[in-house]
A and B are shown apart, each in its own frame.
Chain A
C-alpha cells in the first residue's frame, strides 16, 4: 500500500522576480 504523497503547492508570487529598485523620492 502506497501512501499518497502531498503535492507541493507554490504561491503565485514566488514565480515572479521581486524587483524593488531604490526609490529616488
Chain B
C-alpha cells in the first residue's frame, strides 16, 4: 500500500521573495522569478545526490489547524507514493512547464511579489528525491 507522510515546512523561507538570488548546480546565478523548468532539470542532472521527481497534485484542502494553512496531497514518482504536505497557503511550488504556483497566488504575490498562478489538482510539481537510496 502507498505510504503517506505529512511534512510541515517552517514559515515562508526568504528565498521565495522576488529578486532572491538562486545558484544553479553549474554555478549560474538567477533570480527566483526567472527560474525555468530546465534550470531545475539541468541542475538535478549535474547533482550526484539529487534527482527530480514529478509530484502530481491529487487533492488540496484546508488545514484543520489554521486557515492560513492548506494540505496538499501529492502522488510522487513512478511508485505514485502518497505524500501529504501541510503548507502556508502562499507557499509556492514549481509546476513543470508553468512556473511558481500556490494555493493562494494573490497572497503569494502580495507577500513575496513572486509572480504566481493557482495550484490546481492535476498540476505536476517538481520535487526531489535521493538518486541512490542505498
Contacts from A to B (Cβ < 8 Å):
7-24
CB-based nearest A residue for B14:
A8
Shortest A23–chain B CB gap in Å is 6
B13 x A14 contact (CB < 8 A): yes
Which one of B63-71, B74-82, B101-109 is at the interface? B74-82
Q: Knowing A13-B47, A13-B128, A16-B126 touch, does A24 contact B21 (C-beta < 8 A)?
A: no
- Cα separation A10 to B23 with both chains bound (whole Å): 6
Given contacts A10-B22, A12-B22, A18-B129, 17 further A-B contacts (CB under 8 A): A7-B21, A9-B23, A10-B20, A12-B35, A14-B13, A15-B32, A17-B85, A17-B128, A18-B128, A19-B53, A19-B76, A19-B85, A21-B76, A21-B77, A22-B3, A22-B5, A24-B79
CB-based nearest A residue for B9:
A17
